[in-house]
Structure 1
Amino acid sequence: MKIATKNSSSAFAGSGRINEDPDFGLELSSLEIRHQQLSEEYQQLRRIAAERAQNIIDRFELTAEDVTLHERRSAFHSAPNKVTPKYRGPNGELWSGRGKLPVWLQNAIKNGAAREDFLIERG
């Protein structure tokens, strides 16, 4: 069952060409204006938040050491843990055994090798 909307027959019907809809330009223009308004509001809220943060820092005489945002941020954005490789390919390629099977191992299996043939022996 097709639900008819104002734009269903003009914007995307027929050849699927958006420029056939005479209202498309107006809709796009109003979206661009709204995007600009939201962007300006967002920047204003950021300025207000920065001013409030600065007032708190000044009021309590905080130093950079007192504010631990950097430590929290770096922990949040830290690099993922390295995983020890479990398989080694014929040309030295490494794979941890996680994620998608690498192409070199796919090709080796197609040619009759077993995954276990490429296990790295642990000492």
Structure 2
Amino acid sequence: MWFAYREARVRGCPLLAVHTWSRRPGPLSVAPPRNWYAPQATWRSPAAVLDDALGEAAGPSGEVVVARQMIEGPARRALLDAAAEADLLVVGARRRQGHTGLQLGLVDHALLHHAPCPVAVVPQI
């Protein structure tokens, strides 16, 4: 998120942070496996997950206006819709254990090919 904050500050524009999720079938009381993608989304509200992600990289208070958007559904569609009115789309990419370099996921790959604006893929540390 630090990259997105910095770009918004330099460009003098607001930042739209989008968080998507899909409900998993089954009871929520069962803890997911440790290696499951984004396990906190199972037992925490989408707003809490997004607030934590934004809070880790936030600059000084009021430096960048941040709008939050939470969407239940496919990340690809939500991000392409958001990109329709964006100057820059910033997405993360995870480093996968056992692989060298950056491995793009399906969503990142689709955004690079179909987004109507420039896309910055920032590796997560």
Class of the TM-score when normalised by the shorter of the 2 chains: under 0.3
Between Structure 1 and Structure 2, whose CA radius of gyration is higher?
1
Higher helix share: 1
With the length of structure 2 as denominator, give the TM-score of the two structures. 0.18
Higher relative contact order (CA 8 A, sep 6+): 2
With the length of structure 1 as denominator, give the TM-score of the two structures. 0.18
Higher strand share: 2
